[in-house]
Amino acid sequence: MIDVKEMRKHFLAYEAHPDLVYLDSAASALKAKEVIEVMDEYLYKSGVNVHRGVYKLSYDATTKYEEAREKIAKFINANFEEIVFTRGASSALNLVASSYGLSFLKPGDEIISSELEHHSNQMPWLNVANKTGATIKYIQLNDEGRVTIEEFKKVLTKNTKVVALTHVSNVMGYITPIKEIIELAHEVGAIVIVDGAQSVPHMKIDVKELDCDFLAFSGHKMVGPTGVGVLYGKKKLLDKMPPIEFGGDMAEDVYLDHMTFKDTPYKFETGTPMIAEVIGLGRACEFLQEIGMDEILEHEEKLKKIAIEELKKIPNVEIYNPNTDTGVISFNIKGVHPHDAASVFDKNNVCIRAGHHCAELIIHWLKTVGTLRASFYIYNDEEDVKKFIASVKEAADFFSMFI
Ligand code: 7TS
């Protein structure tokens, strides 16, 4: 069981803001002290570049940077050379689409997407479809707004080449039945890109067991820094993909009329990388592993259950995902724009998100303009839920005068 009082000692944001009720971890998690410490150590005591210096300080920085790759690989049970560092999940997803998608797809090929996708996992594929003449097809969501195997089978054909789906929806909190989808997609020879931005921080992910072809995630949603993310890819696929950025560090040999590149993963990492951030993300993975991914999921499950039960009792509250599988709850005060309602939460230091969450397709599907979204993580407790519910009641009461 997570001891939240102890846990908060690792998150100095609580020291700086004692009244903080932070329920926006689906946007960005708070940063663990341990992560900041390893970044500080590199920045204060070193700060030199990696992969190029012929002096001890640079060798040491390279070792720390590559050790972080090892830790991150271990965290998702990948091999070292299958971890490509990117700026975040968005860049990772764009990398696959721009490299694999634009290089290998052609007219007649099909891409499967869904209305649950974050813009970062739908727009790059829409772009690929527009540029290559491939067709993008969407899985019909069920009445609850979930991707189901039954509906997935209806769009899967022998022409399917790419399936790009989120593992956990950032608006609905649903877990996609991704393992079965991967098995079915592989039967027709398609590859599967899993957007793990909302799953990797919260549950145990084993890429070998899932057998996904690609997995993308961000450091800043898993107590790590902003500006760093990961594209996991099977080596045989990364090997055949062309780089999309050219220049420093990724080149092997350069001539006037031809050039060669380093091997995977380095051919995708152009220029000086985000060294401190990668080192920080390595420590973040250890930090989460020390807590235990099952513990994290269980903790969020407990808080979510209480929150949903309490929300259901408040008149004029519409919950869009009462059966959410994770700590993500989307709701609205009936008749009130989410941005208006958000002001009440802000006044009470309750940080939630309001809007379309960069996932407009599901917002359209819900026939609304946006939602209020609360999301739980390792540093939240039942007291946070109480304060959250009190703010929902206050907002519902206050706006009832106007509707
Ligand atoms: N995919 C999903 C499912 C996400 O939730 C997000 C970010 C991304 C991709 C993109 O990640 P980034 O790190 O590159 O920005 N989602 C959110 C959110 O729900 N609120 O703010 C960012």
Ligand 1 centre to CA of 27 (Å) is: 6
Question: Measured from the CA of 167, which atom of ligand 1 is nearest?
Answer: 3
CATH number at residue 321: 3.90.1150.10
Using the 3D structure, point to which of 267, 290, 313 is the last residue of a domain: 290
234 and 253 assigned to the same domain:
yes
Question: Are 134 and 271 found together in one domain?
Answer: yes
State how far the Cα of 266 lies from the Cα of 263, in Å rounded to an integer: 6
Are 210 and 98 in the same domain? yes
Tens of pLDDT, residue by residue over 265-278, are: 999 999 999 999 99
Query: Which residue's structure tokens are 């039942």?
Result: 382
**CA of 223 relative to ligand 1 center, distance in Å:** 14
Question: Which of 236, 259, 290 is the last residue before a domain boundary?
Answer: 290
Atom of ligand 1 nearest to the CA of 92: 14
Residue 74 DSSP symbol: H
Measured CA to CA, the distance from residue 43 to residue 390 in angstroms comes to 42
Q: Total domain count for the chain?
A: 2
Task: Measure the CA–CA gap between 215 and 75, rounded to whole angstroms.
Answer: 13
Inter-residue contact 176 to 204 (CB < 8 Å): no
- Res 267: pLDDT: 98
Phi, psi (deg, nearest 5) at residue 376? -105, 155
- What is the spatial distance between Cα 204 and Cα 289, in angstroms, rounded to a whole number? 9
Of 214, 190, 196, 169, the C-alpha closest to 328 is 169
Which atom, in ligand 1's list, is nearest to the CA of 91? 14
The verdict on 133 and 202 lying in the same domain is: yes
- Whether 19 and 71 map to the same domain: the answer is no
Same domain, 271 and 378: no
Kind of pairing, strands 328-333 and 371-375? antiparallel
CA pseudo-torsion sign 320, 137, 111, 86: negative
Could you report the per-residue pLDDT of 339-391, keeping only the tens digit for each? Answer: 999 999 999 999 999 999 999 999 999 999 999 999 999 999 999 999 999 99
* Residue 379 domain boundaries: 4-28+292-400
Residues 284 and 151 in one domain: yes
pLDDT tens per residue across all 403 residues of the chain? 999 999 999 999 999 999 999 999 999 999 999 999 999 999 999 999 999 888 999 999 999 999 999 999 999 999 999 999 999 999 999 999 999 999 999 999 999 999 999 999 999 999 999 999 999 999 999 999 999 999 999 999 999 999 999 999 999 999 999 999 999 999 999 999 999 999 999 999 999 999 999 999 999 999 999 999 999 999 999 999 999 999 999 999 999 999 999 999 999 999 999 999 999 999 999 999 999 999 999 999 999 999 999 999 999 999 999 999 999 999 999 999 999 999 999 999 999 999 999 999 999 999 999 999 999 999 999 999 999 999 999 999 998 887 6
- Our answer to whether residue 358 is catalytic in this structure is yes
Q: Are strands 110-114 and 251-254 parallel, antiparallel or unpaired?
A: unpaired
Residues 6+ apart with CB under 8 A from 350: 21, 23, 387, 388, 391
* 246 & 304 share domain: no
Residue ranges around ligand 1 (CB below 6 Å) = 26-27, 88-90, 118, 120-121, 166, 170, 195, 197-198, 218, 353, 357-358
Same domain, 281 and 362: no
Given 247, 268, 290, which residue is the final one in a domain? 290
Q: What is the pTM of this model?
A: 0.98
Cα(163)–Cα(194) distance, integer angstroms: 8
Whichever domain contains 198, its CATH number is 3.40.640.10
The full DSSP string for 341-352 is: HHHHHHHTTEE-
Phi, psi of 29, deg, nearest 5: -85, 160
Q: Are residues 279 and 296 in the same domain?
A: no
Q: Helix, strand or coil for residue 326? A: coil
52 token code pair: 């190029």
